[in-house]
Structure 1
Amino acid sequence: MARATPPAPPAEELPRVLLWRWRRNPLRRRTDLAQAWIATALLLAVLAATPVAMFLVGDTAYRHHLETARHQAATRHHTPAVLVRDAPRHPEPGSDEAKQALYPASVRFTGPHGHTRTAKADVEPALPAGSTVRVWVDHEGEITDPPMTMTQVRNRAMGSALVAAMAVPLLGAAAYGYANRRLERHNLARWDAAWADVALRWTTSP
Protein backbone atom coordinates (compact mmCIF):
# COMPACT_ATOMS: atom_id res chain seq x y z
CA MET A 1 0.00 0.00 0.00
CA ALA A 2 1.44 3.34 -1.06
CA ARG A 3 2.15 5.85 1.68
CA ALA A 4 0.34 9.14 1.47
CA THR A 5 2.56 12.17 0.86
CA PRO A 6 1.83 15.06 3.21
CA PRO A 7 0.73 18.20 1.39
CA ALA A 8 3.26 20.97 0.91
CA PRO A 9 2.86 23.92 3.28
CA PRO A 10 1.08 26.96 1.86
CA ALA A 11 3.23 29.76 0.48
CA GLU A 12 2.49 32.01 3.45
CA GLU A 13 3.78 29.30 5.81
CA LEU A 14 7.15 28.95 4.10
CA PRO A 15 8.80 31.90 5.94
CA ARG A 16 7.64 30.43 9.26
CA VAL A 17 9.05 27.03 8.30
CA LEU A 18 12.37 28.44 7.14
CA LEU A 19 12.74 30.73 10.17
CA TRP A 20 11.62 28.25 12.81
CA ARG A 21 14.87 28.64 14.76
CA TRP A 22 13.99 32.28 15.47
CA ARG A 23 10.52 31.52 16.86
CA ARG A 24 10.01 30.60 20.51
CA ASN A 25 8.75 27.05 20.95
CA PRO A 26 9.23 24.31 23.55
CA LEU A 27 11.32 22.16 21.20
CA ARG A 28 13.81 24.83 20.24
CA ARG A 29 17.21 24.24 21.77
CA ARG A 30 19.81 26.86 22.55
CA THR A 31 22.02 25.28 19.92
CA ASP A 32 19.25 25.87 17.34
CA LEU A 33 19.27 29.58 18.13
CA ALA A 34 23.07 29.60 18.10
CA GLN A 35 23.01 27.97 14.68
CA ALA A 36 20.65 30.65 13.40
CA TRP A 37 22.89 33.44 14.72
CA ILE A 38 25.99 31.81 13.23
CA ALA A 39 24.30 31.47 9.83
CA THR A 40 23.18 35.10 9.91
CA ALA A 41 26.59 36.39 10.98
CA LEU A 42 28.40 34.36 8.31
CA LEU A 43 25.95 35.50 5.63
CA LEU A 44 26.50 39.15 6.52
CA ALA A 45 30.26 38.59 6.70
CA VAL A 46 30.30 36.96 3.25
CA LEU A 47 28.22 39.78 1.73
CA ALA A 48 30.55 42.39 3.23
CA ALA A 49 33.83 40.58 2.56
CA THR A 50 33.23 39.49 -1.03
CA PRO A 51 33.53 42.94 -2.71
CA VAL A 52 36.45 43.85 -0.44
CA ALA A 53 38.27 40.63 -1.30
CA MET A 54 37.57 41.14 -5.01
CA PHE A 55 39.03 44.66 -4.92
CA LEU A 56 42.09 43.77 -2.84
CA VAL A 57 42.95 40.61 -4.77
CA GLY A 58 42.18 42.18 -8.15
CA ASP A 59 44.24 45.29 -7.39
CA THR A 60 47.18 43.24 -6.11
CA ALA A 61 47.04 40.95 -9.15
CA TYR A 62 46.80 43.95 -11.49
CA ARG A 63 49.87 45.59 -9.97
CA HIS A 64 51.81 42.31 -10.10
CA HIS A 65 50.98 41.53 -13.72
CA LEU A 66 51.54 45.15 -14.77
CA GLU A 67 55.03 45.08 -13.25
CA THR A 68 55.65 41.71 -14.95
CA ALA A 69 54.54 43.14 -18.31
CA ARG A 70 56.86 46.13 -17.91
CA HIS A 71 59.76 43.85 -17.02
CA GLN A 72 59.04 41.64 -20.04
CA ALA A 73 58.84 44.66 -22.35
CA ALA A 74 62.23 45.85 -21.07
CA THR A 75 64.00 42.49 -21.31
CA ARG A 76 62.46 40.86 -24.40
CA HIS A 77 63.40 41.83 -27.94
CA HIS A 78 61.65 41.33 -31.28
CA THR A 79 64.45 39.88 -33.41
CA PRO A 80 64.55 38.73 -37.06
CA ALA A 81 65.27 35.05 -37.60
CA VAL A 82 65.88 32.89 -40.69
CA LEU A 83 64.28 29.49 -41.25
CA VAL A 84 66.84 26.71 -41.41
CA ARG A 85 64.42 24.22 -43.04
CA ASP A 86 61.07 24.40 -44.78
CA ALA A 87 58.14 24.76 -42.40
CA PRO A 88 55.57 21.91 -42.43
CA ARG A 89 52.64 22.28 -44.79
CA HIS A 90 49.07 22.42 -43.57
CA PRO A 91 46.86 19.56 -44.82
CA GLU A 92 44.27 22.10 -46.03
CA PRO A 93 46.17 25.02 -47.61
CA GLY A 94 44.15 28.20 -47.97
CA SER A 95 41.57 27.24 -45.33
CA ASP A 96 40.71 29.47 -42.36
CA GLU A 97 42.39 26.95 -40.09
CA ALA A 98 45.59 27.12 -42.16
CA LYS A 99 45.64 30.93 -41.82
CA GLN A 100 45.65 30.63 -38.01
CA ALA A 101 47.88 27.56 -37.65
CA LEU A 102 51.51 27.74 -36.53
CA TYR A 103 54.10 24.98 -36.74
CA PRO A 104 57.41 24.58 -34.88
CA ALA A 105 60.42 25.04 -37.16
CA SER A 106 64.16 25.55 -36.71
CA VAL A 107 65.29 29.17 -37.03
CA ARG A 108 68.66 30.89 -36.77
CA PHE A 109 68.97 34.30 -35.12
CA THR A 110 71.43 36.58 -33.38
CA GLY A 111 70.99 36.82 -29.63
CA PRO A 112 71.21 40.01 -27.57
CA HIS A 113 74.92 39.32 -26.84
CA GLY A 114 75.82 38.95 -30.52
CA HIS A 115 75.94 35.13 -30.59
CA THR A 116 74.27 33.22 -33.41
CA ARG A 117 71.82 30.66 -32.11
CA THR A 118 69.45 28.04 -33.50
CA ALA A 119 66.16 27.15 -31.82
CA LYS A 120 62.57 26.14 -32.46
CA ALA A 121 59.94 28.80 -33.11
CA ASP A 122 56.29 28.71 -34.17
CA VAL A 123 55.95 29.94 -37.75
CA GLU A 124 53.31 29.99 -40.47
CA PRO A 125 52.93 26.75 -42.46
CA ALA A 126 54.73 26.12 -45.78
CA LEU A 127 57.36 28.85 -45.37
CA PRO A 128 60.47 27.88 -47.35
CA ALA A 129 63.95 27.69 -45.87
CA GLY A 130 65.66 31.07 -45.87
CA SER A 131 62.45 32.98 -45.09
CA THR A 132 62.75 35.72 -42.50
CA VAL A 133 60.42 35.74 -39.51
CA ARG A 134 60.45 37.72 -36.29
CA VAL A 135 60.74 36.04 -32.89
CA TRP A 136 60.74 37.26 -29.31
CA VAL A 137 64.01 36.62 -27.46
CA ASP A 138 64.71 37.16 -23.75
CA HIS A 139 67.90 38.64 -22.26
CA GLU A 140 69.53 35.19 -22.19
CA GLY A 141 68.92 34.60 -25.88
CA GLU A 142 66.09 32.10 -25.46
CA ILE A 143 63.00 32.29 -27.67
CA THR A 144 60.03 33.25 -25.51
CA ASP A 145 56.49 34.60 -25.65
CA PRO A 146 55.83 38.28 -26.41
CA PRO A 147 55.39 40.63 -23.45
CA MET A 148 51.95 40.67 -21.89
CA THR A 149 49.57 43.25 -23.29
CA MET A 150 47.39 45.52 -21.18
CA THR A 151 44.39 43.40 -22.18
CA GLN A 152 46.10 40.30 -20.80
CA VAL A 153 47.01 42.17 -17.61
CA ARG A 154 43.40 43.24 -17.07
CA ASN A 155 42.04 39.78 -17.90
CA ARG A 156 44.36 38.09 -15.42
CA ALA A 157 43.50 40.64 -12.73
CA MET A 158 39.77 40.09 -13.36
CA GLY A 159 40.32 36.33 -13.18
CA SER A 160 42.00 36.67 -9.80
CA ALA A 161 39.14 38.88 -8.56
CA LEU A 162 36.58 36.28 -9.68
CA VAL A 163 38.49 33.54 -7.88
CA ALA A 164 38.40 35.65 -4.71
CA ALA A 165 34.66 36.23 -5.19
CA MET A 166 34.11 32.46 -5.30
CA ALA A 167 36.53 31.70 -2.47
CA VAL A 168 34.83 33.92 0.14
CA PRO A 169 31.42 32.15 0.00
CA LEU A 170 33.19 28.78 0.02
CA LEU A 171 35.09 29.77 3.14
CA GLY A 172 31.84 30.96 4.71
CA ALA A 173 30.15 27.66 3.86
CA ALA A 174 33.09 25.73 5.29
CA ALA A 175 32.95 27.77 8.52
CA TYR A 176 29.20 27.15 8.81
CA GLY A 177 29.69 23.43 8.21
CA TYR A 178 32.36 23.26 10.91
CA ALA A 179 30.20 25.15 13.41
CA ASN A 180 27.19 22.99 12.53
CA ARG A 181 29.17 19.80 13.16
CA ARG A 182 30.33 21.10 16.54
CA LEU A 183 26.77 21.97 17.53
CA GLU A 184 25.52 18.56 16.36
CA ARG A 185 28.16 16.83 18.45
CA HIS A 186 27.08 18.94 21.42
CA ASN A 187 23.44 17.94 20.85
CA LEU A 188 24.34 14.26 20.53
CA ALA A 189 26.36 14.42 23.74
CA ARG A 190 23.37 15.94 25.57
CA TRP A 191 21.09 13.28 24.09
CA ASP A 192 23.45 10.55 25.30
CA ALA A 193 23.57 12.05 28.79
CA ALA A 194 19.79 12.45 28.93
CA TRP A 195 19.18 8.94 27.63
CA ALA A 196 21.64 7.45 30.13
CA ASP A 197 19.76 9.19 32.93
CA VAL A 198 16.35 7.99 31.70
CA ALA A 199 17.58 4.48 31.02
CA LEU A 200 18.98 4.27 34.54
CA ARG A 201 15.54 5.12 35.99
CA TRP A 202 13.80 2.54 33.81
CA THR A 203 16.19 -0.28 34.63
CA THR A 204 16.54 0.43 38.35
CA SER A 205 14.37 -1.87 40.43
CA PRO A 206 12.02 -0.18 42.94
Structure 2
Amino acid sequence: MARAVPPAEPLPEELPRVLLWRWRRNPLRRRADLAQAWIATGLFLAVLAGIPTAMFLAGDTAYHHYDRTARHQTATRHTLPAVLVRDAPRHPEPGSYEAEKARYPVTVRFTDPHGRSRTARAYVRPSLPAGSIVRVWVDAGGEITDAPLTAEQVRNHSMGWALVAALTVPLIGATAYGYANHRLERHNLAQWDKAWARTAPHWTISP
Protein backbone atom coordinates (compact mmCIF):
# COMPACT_ATOMS: atom_id res chain seq x y z
CA MET A 1 0.00 0.00 0.00
CA ALA A 2 1.47 3.34 -1.03
CA ARG A 3 2.31 5.73 1.74
CA ALA A 4 0.26 8.94 1.88
CA VAL A 5 2.03 12.03 0.70
CA PRO A 6 2.34 14.49 3.58
CA PRO A 7 0.73 17.91 2.99
CA ALA A 8 2.96 20.69 1.75
CA GLU A 9 4.26 23.21 4.21
CA PRO A 10 2.28 26.47 4.26
CA LEU A 11 4.01 29.29 2.38
CA PRO A 12 2.45 32.51 3.73
CA GLU A 13 4.92 32.69 6.63
CA GLU A 14 7.86 32.56 4.20
CA LEU A 15 6.51 35.19 1.82
CA PRO A 16 7.73 38.22 3.82
CA ARG A 17 11.24 36.71 3.95
CA VAL A 18 11.18 36.12 0.19
CA LEU A 19 9.85 39.56 -0.65
CA LEU A 20 12.34 41.31 1.65
CA TRP A 21 15.37 39.20 0.82
CA ARG A 22 17.33 42.22 -0.38
CA TRP A 23 17.21 43.68 3.13
CA ARG A 24 18.52 40.54 4.87
CA ARG A 25 22.21 39.80 5.18
CA ASN A 26 23.17 36.71 3.22
CA PRO A 27 26.22 35.55 1.25
CA LEU A 28 24.44 35.93 -2.11
CA ARG A 29 23.27 39.50 -1.62
CA ARG A 30 25.19 42.00 -3.71
CA ARG A 31 25.61 45.71 -3.16
CA ALA A 32 23.50 46.23 -6.27
CA ASP A 33 20.65 44.27 -4.64
CA LEU A 34 20.71 46.53 -1.59
CA ALA A 35 20.90 49.59 -3.83
CA GLN A 36 17.86 48.34 -5.74
CA ALA A 37 15.96 47.91 -2.47
CA TRP A 38 16.81 51.46 -1.38
CA ILE A 39 15.86 52.88 -4.78
CA ALA A 40 12.51 51.06 -4.72
CA THR A 41 11.79 52.29 -1.17
CA GLY A 42 12.81 55.85 -1.97
CA LEU A 43 10.71 55.98 -5.12
CA PHE A 44 7.72 54.46 -3.34
CA LEU A 45 7.86 57.10 -0.61
CA ALA A 46 8.43 59.83 -3.20
CA VAL A 47 5.36 58.71 -5.14
CA LEU A 48 3.22 58.63 -1.98
CA ALA A 49 4.30 62.16 -1.11
CA GLY A 50 4.24 63.37 -4.70
CA ILE A 51 0.69 62.37 -5.59
CA PRO A 52 -1.15 64.82 -3.29
CA THR A 53 1.41 67.53 -3.98
CA ALA A 54 1.11 67.12 -7.75
CA MET A 55 -2.70 67.00 -7.51
CA PHE A 56 -2.79 70.25 -5.53
CA LEU A 57 -0.33 72.09 -7.78
CA ALA A 58 -1.94 70.90 -11.03
CA GLY A 59 -5.48 71.49 -9.80
CA ASP A 60 -4.69 74.92 -8.38
CA THR A 61 -2.81 76.03 -11.50
CA ALA A 62 -5.59 74.74 -13.76
CA TYR A 63 -8.28 76.39 -11.64
CA HIS A 64 -6.64 79.81 -11.84
CA HIS A 65 -6.09 79.38 -15.59
CA TYR A 66 -9.67 78.39 -16.36
CA ASP A 67 -11.06 80.94 -13.91
CA ARG A 68 -9.18 83.73 -15.74
CA THR A 69 -10.38 82.30 -19.06
CA ALA A 70 -13.99 82.25 -17.85
CA ARG A 71 -13.76 85.84 -16.62
CA HIS A 72 -12.28 86.99 -19.93
CA GLN A 73 -14.94 85.13 -21.91
CA THR A 74 -17.71 86.61 -19.77
CA ALA A 75 -16.35 90.11 -20.37
CA THR A 76 -15.90 89.71 -24.15
CA ARG A 77 -18.80 87.49 -25.22
CA HIS A 78 -22.44 88.49 -25.53
CA THR A 79 -25.74 86.90 -26.48
CA LEU A 80 -27.67 88.26 -29.44
CA PRO A 81 -30.95 87.29 -31.11
CA ALA A 82 -30.58 85.42 -34.40
CA VAL A 83 -33.17 84.30 -36.96
CA LEU A 84 -33.11 80.85 -38.55
CA VAL A 85 -32.70 81.11 -42.32
CA ARG A 86 -34.05 77.56 -42.88
CA ASP A 87 -35.78 74.82 -40.91
CA ALA A 88 -33.72 72.85 -38.41
CA PRO A 89 -33.54 69.08 -39.06
CA ARG A 90 -36.00 66.84 -37.27
CA HIS A 91 -34.74 64.39 -34.66
CA PRO A 92 -35.45 60.71 -35.48
CA GLU A 93 -36.98 60.26 -32.00
CA PRO A 94 -39.05 63.40 -31.22
CA GLY A 95 -39.83 63.87 -27.55
CA SER A 96 -37.04 61.57 -26.35
CA TYR A 97 -34.27 62.48 -23.93
CA GLU A 98 -31.78 62.43 -26.82
CA ALA A 99 -33.96 64.88 -28.75
CA GLU A 100 -33.92 67.29 -25.80
CA LYS A 101 -30.12 67.27 -25.74
CA ALA A 102 -29.54 67.20 -29.52
CA ARG A 103 -28.46 70.32 -31.38
CA TYR A 104 -28.12 70.73 -35.15
CA PRO A 105 -26.07 73.26 -37.15
CA VAL A 106 -28.33 75.68 -39.02
CA THR A 107 -27.64 78.93 -40.87
CA VAL A 108 -28.84 81.97 -38.90
CA ARG A 109 -28.87 85.70 -39.54
CA PHE A 110 -28.04 88.24 -36.84
CA THR A 111 -26.69 91.75 -36.28
CA ASP A 112 -23.29 91.79 -34.62
CA PRO A 113 -22.24 94.28 -31.90
CA HIS A 114 -20.86 96.60 -34.63
CA GLY A 115 -24.26 96.86 -36.35
CA ARG A 116 -23.36 94.62 -39.30
CA SER A 117 -25.83 92.04 -40.60
CA ARG A 118 -24.19 88.64 -40.74
CA THR A 119 -24.99 85.00 -41.38
CA ALA A 120 -23.29 82.06 -39.72
CA ARG A 121 -23.88 78.50 -38.57
CA ALA A 122 -25.27 77.97 -35.08
CA TYR A 123 -26.34 74.86 -33.20
CA VAL A 124 -30.07 74.92 -32.41
CA ARG A 125 -32.76 72.57 -31.15
CA PRO A 126 -34.25 70.15 -33.70
CA SER A 127 -37.45 70.88 -35.64
CA LEU A 128 -37.29 74.68 -35.24
CA PRO A 129 -38.93 76.29 -38.32
CA ALA A 130 -37.30 79.00 -40.41
CA GLY A 131 -37.91 82.43 -38.93
CA SER A 132 -37.58 81.21 -35.35
CA ILE A 133 -35.53 83.45 -33.06
CA VAL A 134 -32.72 81.91 -31.00
CA ARG A 135 -30.02 83.36 -28.79
CA VAL A 136 -26.41 82.98 -29.93
CA TRP A 137 -23.12 83.84 -28.28
CA VAL A 138 -20.74 86.10 -30.21
CA ASP A 139 -17.22 87.27 -29.41
CA ALA A 140 -15.81 90.79 -29.60
CA GLY A 141 -15.26 90.39 -33.34
CA GLY A 142 -18.86 89.41 -33.99
CA GLU A 143 -18.12 85.71 -34.63
CA ILE A 144 -20.43 83.07 -33.21
CA THR A 145 -18.69 81.22 -30.39
CA ASP A 146 -19.38 79.05 -27.36
CA ALA A 147 -20.86 80.30 -24.12
CA PRO A 148 -18.36 81.34 -21.43
CA LEU A 149 -17.13 78.62 -19.12
CA THR A 150 -19.38 78.09 -16.12
CA ALA A 151 -18.17 77.67 -12.54
CA GLU A 152 -18.96 73.96 -12.77
CA GLN A 153 -16.91 73.59 -15.96
CA VAL A 154 -13.99 75.39 -14.32
CA ARG A 155 -14.12 72.96 -11.39
CA ASN A 156 -14.43 69.94 -13.68
CA HIS A 157 -11.46 70.99 -15.81
CA SER A 158 -9.39 71.60 -12.67
CA MET A 159 -10.30 68.21 -11.21
CA GLY A 160 -9.44 66.58 -14.53
CA TRP A 161 -5.93 68.02 -14.50
CA ALA A 162 -5.51 67.04 -10.85
CA LEU A 163 -6.46 63.47 -11.78
CA VAL A 164 -3.98 63.50 -14.68
CA ALA A 165 -1.26 64.62 -12.27
CA ALA A 166 -2.20 61.86 -9.82
CA LEU A 167 -1.83 59.26 -12.56
CA THR A 168 1.37 60.76 -13.93
CA VAL A 169 3.37 60.62 -10.68
CA PRO A 170 3.23 56.79 -10.33
CA LEU A 171 4.05 56.48 -14.02
CA ILE A 172 7.15 58.62 -13.56
CA GLY A 173 8.10 56.59 -10.49
CA ALA A 174 7.70 53.30 -12.36
CA THR A 175 9.74 54.63 -15.28
CA ALA A 176 12.52 55.80 -12.96
CA TYR A 177 12.58 52.42 -11.20
CA GLY A 178 12.68 50.57 -14.51
CA TYR A 179 15.59 52.70 -15.72
CA ALA A 180 17.50 52.25 -12.44
CA ASN A 181 16.83 48.51 -12.47
CA HIS A 182 18.08 48.28 -16.06
CA ARG A 183 21.29 50.11 -15.16
CA LEU A 184 21.85 47.87 -12.13
CA GLU A 185 21.30 44.74 -14.21
CA ARG A 186 23.86 45.93 -16.73
CA HIS A 187 26.27 46.62 -13.87
CA ASN A 188 25.68 43.11 -12.49
CA LEU A 189 26.31 41.53 -15.88
CA ALA A 190 29.54 43.48 -16.22
CA GLN A 191 30.63 42.31 -12.77
CA TRP A 192 29.78 38.71 -13.65
CA ASP A 193 31.87 38.99 -16.82
CA LYS A 194 34.85 40.25 -14.81
CA ALA A 195 34.43 37.51 -12.20
CA TRP A 196 34.18 34.83 -14.88
CA ALA A 197 37.27 36.19 -16.63
CA ARG A 198 39.19 35.65 -13.37
CA THR A 199 37.63 32.24 -12.67
CA ALA A 200 37.54 30.72 -16.16
CA PRO A 201 41.31 29.87 -16.36
CA HIS A 202 40.97 27.67 -13.23
CA TRP A 203 38.14 25.70 -14.89
CA THR A 204 39.90 25.31 -18.24
CA ILE A 205 41.38 21.85 -18.80
CA SER A 206 44.68 21.92 -20.65
CA PRO A 207 44.91 19.41 -23.53
User: What range describes the TM-score normalised by the shorter chain of this pair?
Assistant: over 0.9
Shift in alpha-carbon separation, 1:178–1:129, aligned structure 2, 3 A: same
Q: CA deviation at 1:96?
A: 2.7
- SS in structure 1 opposite 2:199? helix
- Matched length: 200
Gapped runs of 5+ residues in structure 2? 1-7
1:7-156 → structure 2 map (5 Å cutoff)? 10-156=11-157
Measure the CA separation in 2 of the matches of 1:8 and 1:147.
67
- TM-score w.r.t. the length of structure 1 is 0.92
* Unpaired stretches in structure 1, ≥5 consecutive residues: 1-6
Secondary structure, counterpart of 1:11 in structure 2: coil
Question: Pairwise CA RMSD of aligned residues?
Answer: 1.5
SS at match of 2:194: helix
**Offset, 1:90:** 1.8
Measure how far apart 1:198 and its partner are. Answer: 1.7
**Large movers: runs of 4+ above 3 Å:** none
For residues 126-205 of structure 1, the aligned pairs below 5 Å read: 126-203=127-204, 205=206
Deviation at 1:201, TM superposition (A): 2.7
Give the aligned residue type for 1:186: H
Cα deviation, residue 9, structure 1 = 5.5
For the residues of structure 2 that align with 1:58 and 1:92, how far apart are their CA atoms? 40
| Superposition TM-score, scaled by structure 2 size | 0.92
Q: Which amino acid aligns with 1:133?
A: V
Identity %: 74
Cα deviation for residue 8 of structure 1 reads 7.8
What is the deviation of 1:204?
6.7
SS in 2 for 1:120: strand
2:4 is matched with none
Equivalent residue letter for 2:39? I
